[in-house]
Protein backbone atom coordinates (compact mmCIF):
# COMPACT_ATOMS: atom_id res chain seq x y z
CA UNK A 1 0.00 0.00 0.00
CA UNK A 2 1.19 3.49 -0.82
CA UNK A 3 0.04 6.48 1.24
CA UNK A 4 0.85 9.67 -0.65
CA UNK A 5 -1.21 12.84 -1.07
CA UNK A 6 0.60 14.16 -4.15
CA UNK A 7 -1.25 12.48 -7.04
CA UNK A 8 1.46 12.42 -9.75
CA UNK A 9 4.10 11.21 -7.28
CA UNK A 10 1.73 8.53 -5.98
CA UNK A 11 1.04 7.25 -9.49
CA UNK A 12 4.74 7.19 -10.45
CA UNK A 13 5.72 5.35 -7.25
CA UNK A 14 2.81 2.92 -7.61
CA UNK A 15 3.93 2.18 -11.16
CA UNK A 16 7.45 1.30 -9.89
CA UNK A 17 5.83 -1.03 -7.38
CA UNK A 18 3.49 -2.63 -9.91
CA UNK A 19 6.43 -3.21 -12.27
CA UNK A 20 7.96 -5.30 -9.45
CA UNK A 21 4.85 -7.47 -9.38
CA UNK A 22 3.24 -5.88 -6.32
CA UNK A 23 -0.51 -5.38 -5.95
CA UNK A 24 -0.70 -1.72 -4.94
CA UNK A 25 -3.48 0.28 -3.35
CA UNK A 26 -3.05 4.06 -3.07
CA UNK A 27 -4.45 6.15 -0.23
CA UNK A 28 -4.12 9.93 -0.17
CA UNK A 29 -5.02 10.51 3.49
CA UNK A 30 -4.38 8.76 6.77
CA UNK A 31 -8.07 7.96 7.24
CA UNK A 32 -8.28 6.46 3.74
CA UNK A 33 -5.15 4.40 4.46
CA UNK A 34 -6.62 2.93 7.64
CA UNK A 35 -9.87 2.07 5.86
CA UNK A 36 -7.95 0.48 2.98
CA UNK A 37 -5.66 -1.50 5.29
CA UNK A 38 -8.64 -2.97 7.11
CA UNK A 39 -9.72 -4.76 3.92
CA UNK A 40 -6.51 -4.96 1.84
CA UNK A 41 -4.14 -6.33 4.52
CA UNK A 42 -0.90 -4.88 3.09
CA UNK A 43 2.44 -6.63 3.56
CA UNK A 44 4.38 -3.46 2.68
CA UNK A 45 3.34 0.11 3.43
CA UNK A 46 5.13 3.16 2.04
CA UNK A 47 3.71 6.20 3.82
CA UNK A 48 4.41 9.87 3.37
CA UNK A 49 5.38 11.52 6.64
CA UNK A 50 3.23 14.62 6.06
CA UNK A 51 -0.37 13.83 5.15
CA UNK A 52 -3.26 16.31 4.96
CA UNK A 53 -5.26 14.86 7.85
CA UNK A 54 -2.67 13.29 10.18
CA UNK A 55 0.99 12.49 10.52
CA UNK A 56 2.32 9.44 8.75
CA UNK A 57 3.74 8.44 12.13
CA UNK A 58 0.23 8.42 13.60
CA UNK A 59 -0.94 6.32 10.66
CA UNK A 60 1.91 3.85 11.29
CA UNK A 61 0.98 3.54 14.96
CA UNK A 62 -2.67 2.96 14.04
CA UNK A 63 -1.69 0.36 11.43
CA UNK A 64 0.19 -1.56 14.12
CA UNK A 65 -3.15 -1.86 15.94
CA UNK A 66 -4.99 -3.00 12.79
CA UNK A 67 -5.21 -6.81 12.54
CA UNK A 68 -4.73 -6.82 8.76
CA UNK A 69 -1.64 -4.58 8.83
CA UNK A 70 0.01 -5.09 12.21
CA UNK A 71 2.83 -7.20 10.74
CA UNK A 72 3.39 -5.12 7.60
CA UNK A 73 6.77 -3.63 6.82
CA UNK A 74 6.20 0.11 7.18
CA UNK A 75 8.56 2.52 5.47
CA UNK A 76 8.09 6.24 6.14
CA UNK A 77 8.93 8.43 3.16
CA UNK A 78 9.66 12.14 3.25
CA UNK A 79 11.23 14.96 1.29
CA UNK A 80 13.55 15.40 4.28
CA UNK A 81 17.07 14.06 3.88
CA UNK A 82 17.94 10.74 5.48
CA UNK A 83 20.13 12.55 8.06
CA UNK A 84 17.16 14.80 8.94
CA UNK A 85 14.94 11.74 9.31
CA UNK A 86 17.39 9.98 11.63
CA UNK A 87 16.24 11.67 14.86
CA UNK A 88 12.64 10.61 14.16
CA UNK A 89 13.50 6.94 14.53
CA UNK A 90 13.60 7.27 18.30
CA UNK A 91 10.12 8.81 18.37
CA UNK A 92 8.24 5.96 16.75
CA UNK A 93 9.41 2.85 18.54
CA UNK A 94 8.49 -0.22 16.54
CA UNK A 95 5.77 1.48 14.47
CA UNK A 96 8.10 2.20 11.54
CA UNK A 97 10.66 -0.22 10.13
CA UNK A 98 12.64 2.30 8.12
CA UNK A 99 12.75 5.82 6.77
CA UNK A 100 13.41 6.70 3.13
CA UNK A 101 13.94 10.09 1.55
CA UNK A 102 12.03 11.08 -1.58
CA UNK A 103 12.02 10.55 -4.40
CA UNK A 104 11.37 6.82 -4.22
CA UNK A 105 13.39 5.63 -7.16
CA UNK A 106 13.32 2.24 -8.78
CA UNK A 107 16.75 1.60 -7.22
CA UNK A 108 15.49 2.36 -3.69
CA UNK A 109 12.50 0.10 -4.24
CA UNK A 110 14.76 -2.68 -5.57
CA UNK A 111 16.97 -2.38 -2.48
CA UNK A 112 13.95 -2.51 -0.17
CA UNK A 113 12.45 -5.55 -1.92
CA UNK A 114 15.79 -7.36 -2.09
CA UNK A 115 16.23 -6.86 1.64
CA UNK A 116 12.77 -8.28 2.28
CA UNK A 117 13.41 -11.30 0.08
CA UNK A 118 16.69 -11.99 1.89
CA UNK A 119 14.67 -12.06 5.13
CA UNK A 120 12.41 -14.69 3.65
CA UNK A 121 9.42 -12.39 3.13
CA UNK A 122 7.09 -13.29 0.29
CA UNK A 123 4.90 -10.78 -1.46
Q: Where are the alpha helices (DSSP H) in the chain?
A: 7-19, 30-40, 56-64, 82-85, 106-118
Query: Is the overall model pTM greater than 0.95, yes or no?
Result: no
State the CATH number of the domain containing residue 69. 3.40.50.2300
- Please state the domain count of the chain: 1
Position 123 in a domain: no
Residue 56 lies in a domain: yes
Encode pLDDT of 9-45 as tens digits.
999 999 999 998 999 999 999 999 999 999 999 999 9
Q: Which pLDDT score, from 0 to 100, does residue 115 have?
A: 73
Domain limits for position 71: 2-118
In a domain, 79, yes or no: yes
- Whether residue 33 is contained in a domain is answered as yes
**Over the stretch 57-93, which tens digit does the pLDDT of each residue have?**
999 999 999 988 999 999 999 887 666 656 665 555 6
Establish if 68 belongs to a structural domain: yes
Plot region of 88 (φ>0 → left; ψ -120 to 50 → alpha; else → beta): alpha
Average pLDDT over residues 2-15: 95
The packing angle between helices 30-40 and 56-64, to 10°, is 30
Amino acid sequence: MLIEDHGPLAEATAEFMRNKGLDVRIASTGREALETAAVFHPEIVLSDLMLPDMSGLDVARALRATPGAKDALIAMISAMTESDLGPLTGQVGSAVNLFLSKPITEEKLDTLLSGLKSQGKKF
